[in-house]
Amino acid sequence: MIGAGFGTVGFAGMLGARTSGPLDPKVPHFAPKAKRVIFLFLNGGLSQVDTFDPKPMLAKHEGEPLPGPKIKTDRASGNLMKSPFTFRRRGESGLPVANIFERVGGLVDDICVIRSCYSDNGNHGPSLFLMNCGHQLPGRPSLGSWVTYGLGSENENLPGFVVLCPGYPVMGPSLWSSAFLPNPYQGAYIRNDETDPEKLVRNIRNKVLSDTEQTRQLALLDKLNRSYLKRLGHQPEMESAIASMEVAYRMQMEVPDVFDINKEPEHVRERYGDSDFGKGCLMALRLAENDVRMVQVYYGNFQPWDSHDDILVHGKLARQADVPISALIEDLKARGLFEDTLLVIGSEFGRTPMIQNSGLEKIGKGRDHNVPGYTTLLAGGGVKGGMAYGATDDFGFKAVENRVHPHDLHATILHLLGLDHTRLTYRYSGRDFRLTDVGGRVIHDIIA
């Protein structure tokens, strides 16, 4: 057992119980509704008209071109295609949800469906950057970095921002980069296809030294550092730097437990299924429970939801996602976390109501990227449930009512966390930067 011996030498005793650091909890701008965020990223592009934004007109006009002048899409677009899935009104709110999200549909009274999202660029890269970092090009801090920069972390033994993906989504780590914000705000990337917690977090355990040996080493280290501090004289920053050792020591004990989903009873694990995404959702639950400020779970490597050639694949994906998403919502509620955890479920863009007219793929029953209109779900954390906000046109192509840009979504997320997106700034290279750049509008209508 580590601990006892080292505790008596204690850095804490030497330097005061707490030291200041970049991840110290900070006071928000105003009273927050949510304390933390879980962002389930369905990377590739969730089709709005096949899931949460039903369009009966598609069935009526199937096979016809989208009315109006010829529009500009990524590739030549084909004719309208109705959804192969059926919609049913669910819950007391009666919001329609496609049958491929059967269980999530049952929880629709807890969910706010934003149907009027739109983005600026039809390619995955720029849209992923916009949705994650508020700018189409790499080099800006991510949402999670801004959130931890603004609020710090409530748990000093864990990173404030954790990103889970079995491999990498398209564009990789730049999507959780802290860019010019200091490094501690960077997303701590964890491969959730690993089950061994010691492989999850690098260097979390010493593979050679026994606990006793390491405890003795730490006691020696403490003496060396104290002697150095004495030589240095007045250097308060150095004192706090040295104190990070204490945190590291505690992390060694706490981290493996938190990431170890095997610590959950079997009946809980079963409800999440055995997909990587399921494991990610369960890990997200445990991290939320341990006060990690933001967790982002990517559905899978590369871009699984990019159903260019066969929209029926969306059925397989949704049925796989349905299980852990609904389990996560239920467990957040059961553990009393739902009220102050904001759950965001969405993609970098949606999919066209038209068939993709592309010779790229072999089937020809898919949908292309859709930037003018798509759907994002919010739940918990001070958001109204059982509500649809905004609307797309009759065919689900373009957001026409209460349009929501990623900047608006970001402004709203920050607002729910008690942060004013116009005041959350960082001065870099002579300019004040913010997540929402020069845009962003808080969507007050969806706040409970």
Partner 1 sequence: MAVGKAALLRILLLALAVAALSPCRAGEAEKLEFFETNIRPLLIENCYACHTQSKMGGLRLDSRETMVRGGSSGPAIRPGNAAGSLLIQAVGHTHERLKMPPSGTRLSDKQIEGLAAWIQDGAVWPDEDLAPQISESTAFAVTPRQRAFWSFQPVSMPVPPEIRNVSRGIAPVDRFILARLEEKGIERAPAADKRTLIRRATYSLIGLPPTPEEIDAFLADSSPNAFETVVERLLASPRYGERWGRYWLDLARYADGKIGIRVDDPYPNAFRYRDWVIRAFNDDLPYDQFVRAQLAADLLSEPEREKHLAGLGFLALSPRGDDRVDVVTRTFLGLTVGCAQCHDHKYDPIPTKDFYSLQGVFASSAYEEYPLAPEERVKVYKDAEKAIAGQKDVIKTFIERQTEQLIDVMLDQTSEYMMAAWDVMQEGGPGAEAVAKETDLDAEILERWVTYLRSDKEHQFLDDWDALVERGGTREDALPLAQAAEDFIRGVHKEKYEIEDRNYVKLGGAKGLLDERTRQYTNLEFLDLKKWYLWRDLASPPFSQNGFPFSGGVYYFGPQEDRSIDRFLGGVWKAHLEGLRAELKRLEEELPEPYPFIHGYKDSGKIKDLQVHVRGDKDNLGELAPRRFLHILSESEPERFTQGSGRLELANHIVHAGNPLTARVMVNRIWQHHFGQGIVATPSNYGQLGERPSHPKLLDYLAARFIESGWSIKAMHREIMLSSTYQLSAGHVADSFEKDAANKLLWRANLVQRLDAEALRDAILSVAGSLDEDVGGPPVDFADDNRRRTVYCTVGRTTTDRTMMLFDFPDPNSTSEKRSVTIGPMQRLYFLNSNFVMKQAKALAERLAREAGDDHAARIRRAYELLYGRPPSTDEVRVGLDYIEATQDPWPKYAQTLLGASEFSAVN
Tell me whether residue 363 or residue 448 sits nearer to partner 1 (CB atom). Answer: 363
Choose the binding region for partner 1 from 30-38, 91-99, 137-145, 325-333 (rule: CB under 8 A): 137-145
Cα–Cα distance measured from residue 204 to residue 254, given in angstroms and rounded to the nearest whole number: 10
CA 437 to centroid of chain Cα atoms: 20
Does 211 sit near partner 1 (CB under 8 A)? no
Does 202 sit near partner 1 (CB under 8 A)? yes
Tell me whether residue 201 or residue 329 sits nearer to partner 1 (CB atom). Answer: 201
Instruction: In angstroms, give the least distance from the CB of 34 to partner 1.
Output: 25
Cα–Cα distance measured from residue 122 to residue 350, given in angstroms and rounded to the nearest whole number: 10
Instruction: Provide the edge-to-edge strand list for the sheet that holds 111-117.
Output: 188-190, 161-164, 294-298, 36-41, 341-346, 374-380, 111-117, 387-389
Does 86 sit near partner 1 (CB under 8 A)? no
Q: Of the candidates 308, 310, 322, 315, which has an alpha carbon nearest to the alpha carbon of residue 277? A: 322
Helices of type H across 294-381:
312-334
The interface with partner 1 within residues 405-444 (CB under 8 A) comprises: 429-431
DSSP state of 49: G
Instruction: In angstroms, give the least distance from the CB of 351 to partner 1.
Output: 12
345 with 389: CB under 8 angstroms? no
Judging by beta carbons within 10 Å of its beta carbon (0-12, 13-18, 19+), is residue 233 exposed, middle or buried? Answer: exposed
Residue 202 is encoded by which pair of tokens?
A: 């690098």
Query: Of 13, 56, 139, 336, which lies in the binding site for partner 1, with binding defined by CB under 8 A?
Result: 139
Does 204 sit near partner 1 (CB under 8 A)? yes
Tell me whether residue 100 or residue 342 sits nearer to partner 1 (CB atom). Answer: 100
Cα–Cα distance measured from residue 302 to residue 238, given in angstroms and rounded to the nearest whole number: 42
The interface with partner 1 within residues 317-336 (CB under 8 A) comprises: 317
Does 8 sit near partner 1 (CB under 8 A)? no
Cα–Cα distance measured from residue 237 to residue 138, given in angstroms and rounded to the nearest whole number: 32
Does 191 sit near partner 1 (CB under 8 A)? no
Instruction: In angstroms, give the least distance from the CB of 74 to partner 1.
Output: 8
424 with 434: CB under 8 angstroms? yes
The interface with partner 1 within residues 258-277 (CB under 8 A) comprises: none
Tell me whether residue 59 or residue 360 sits nearer to partner 1 (CB atom). Answer: 360
Rg (CA), the chain: 24
The interface with partner 1 within residues 282-321 (CB under 8 A) comprises: 300-302, 304-307, 309-310, 312-313, 316-317
Does 247 sit near partner 1 (CB under 8 A)? yes
The mark string for 350-389 relative to partner 1 (x by CB under 8 A, - otherwise) is -------xxxx--xxx------x-----------------
Cα–Cα distance measured from residue 354 to residue 74, given in angstroms and rounded to the nearest whole number: 12
Instruction: In angstroms, give the least distance from the CB of 403 to partner 1.
Output: 9
Choose the binding region for partner 1 from 15-23, 32-40, 257-265, 406-414 (rule: CB under 8 A): 15-23
